Amino acid sequence: MNDLDTFSLLLADEGRALLASLREYDPSQELAVATRLRREHDAGLVSAALGQARLRQRAVAKFGAADAHRMFFTPNGVEQSTRASVATHRAKAFAARGVRGVADLCCGIGGDALALARAGIPVLAVDRDPLTAAVARANAEALGLADLIEVRCADVTDIDTAPYDAVFVDPARRGGRQGGAAHSASVRGGGRATGGRIFDPEAYSPPLSWAVAAALAAPFAALKIAPGIPHEAIPPQAEAEWISDGGDVKEAVLWFGTGVTPGAVRATLLPGAADLWTAAPLGAPPVGPVGRYLYEPDGAVIRAHLVAEIVDRCGGRLIDETIAYVTSDEEYVSPYTSAYEITDQLPFNLKKLKALLREREVGVLTVKKRGSAVEPEEIRRRVKPAGPNSATVFLTRVAGAPTMLIGHPLPHAAQTPGAPPRTPSAP
């Protein structure tokens, strides 16, 4: 059976019923489950259903249980699709602009198309891989959004986007996927996506230059890119946004068109959509000695090159010109940073660290590193923490010297906003 044949079996009544029965199945018991099911069902269908059940379990982290167990996936689709919280955030930006139709180019399994449709926006979802397009169509139907989502199997470079007032492009950034398609990605599989990540934007499929041209041709557009893209590769017409969810940087987006401020950058923190924005990033921040408080900016802030904004707001300084740790003598509370009170500063020396932790009866040790080659696991193994107390150790550099900073987190650090964010112009 080819992949589309397999997928059609899953969409039939027998396949859907079989999938429903596997919602809570334990993959470690797969052999026994498969043996039992093959007494009543075709072996190919059982294999496909078990693979799809594994993919659904993996997808819960991105889509939530309610949606994930109704949706269909390919291995690459689970790996590369947009997290629902991020897609919802972006769809709200389209809706806020009054967008009445979006051409979603390289739609994959349809994660962004589903969020746009839930925001009430009609979507043309395009992917050139027949299986991926079939999965996207099935997902629109499964979630009751088929009336708002038209799925088309085509090469995105052949699509006329003129009838749509907005464009969203999500180029492939892995070697095993091209033009938004997950080629040869069997619905039976549960493994990781094939092919490594692509870091050269012109090696995206389609290339970044084509995606930018498609975005510039629309009244309003968004282009999803890897968060590690070099800032010099960002086109001057774009406003760039880095998005983290729960403290993890998930993606970057380039915005084009009406109301966008070219050259502006933004860090968005989900959930809650805390928003740090500037039209003109500040220059290099000052560097100085470690103060009483240490601030660890969210990854989106670092990726957006907005650490200097944090330094400016807290009236502080960097501890090293190459390290994104901010320090100050007065406490600063902000949703954009995790804050710590520093009690000790030592040159890097594991024997001294072990003695200090033993003296303070530290048994719960959190080790963070930035600018250090030493692994946290090695520190824990060497110092053997024991006792009722807790501490955080930062392995870093201060004015170029390897240093250990010891302290503890401020419990209210992320609950009260700091200085209000500047008025944004982008979504």
CB contact set of 422 (below 8 Å; sequence gap of 6+)? 277, 278
- List, edge to edge, every strand of the sheet that includes 362-369: 317-320, 323-328, 293-297, 337-347, 401-409, 389-398, 362-369
Q: Say if strands 401-409 and 337-347 run parallel, antiparallel, or are unpaired.
A: antiparallel
pLDDT recorded at residue 272:
83
Q: Say if strands 239-245 and 274-278 run parallel, antiparallel, or are unpaired.
A: unpaired
Contacts 24+ apart (CB under 8 A), 277-280: 277/421, 277/422, 277/423, 277/424, 277/425, 277/426, 278/306, 278/309, 278/422, 279/425
pLDDT recorded at residue 407:
97
What does the alpha-carbon distance between residue 329 and residue 125 come to, in Å, rounded to a whole number? 52
What confidence tens digit (pLDDT) does each residue in 312-354 have? 999 999 999 999 999 999 999 999 999 999 999 999 999 999 9
pLDDT recorded at residue 412:
60
Spatial contact of 384 and 359, defined as CB atoms under 8 Å apart: no
What does the alpha-carbon distance between residue 322 and residue 371 come to, in Å, rounded to a whole number? 8
Omega cis (within 30) before 271: yes
What confidence tens digit (pLDDT) does each residue in 371-386 have? 999 999 999 999 999 9
pLDDT recorded at residue 182:
32
pLDDT category at 5 given cuts 50, 70, 90 is confident
pLDDT recorded at residue 197:
52
Spatial contact of 276 and 282, defined as CB atoms under 8 Å apart: no
The first and second tokens of residue 287, run together, are 């560097």
CA distances from 138 to 27, 135, 317 (A): 24, 5, 53
Q: Locate tokens 């806020």: which residue?
A: 96
The first and second tokens of residue 138, run together, are 């099935």
What does the alpha-carbon distance between residue 138 and residue 2 come to, in Å, rounded to a whole number? 18
pLDDT of 136 > 80? The answer is: yes
pLDDT recorded at residue 281:
87
In this structure, the number of other CB atoms found within 10 A of the CB of residue 321 comes to 12
What confidence tens digit (pLDDT) does each residue in 182-235 have? 322 333 333 323 344 556 777 677 888 899 999 999 999 999 998 998 999 999
pLDDT of 178 > 70? The answer is: no
What confidence tens digit (pLDDT) does each residue in 43-99 have? 989 999 999 999 999 999 999 999 999 999 999 999 989 999 999 999 999 999 999
pLDDT recorded at residue 208:
87
The angle formed by the CA atoms of residues 365, 371 and 373, to the nearest 5 degrees, is: 75
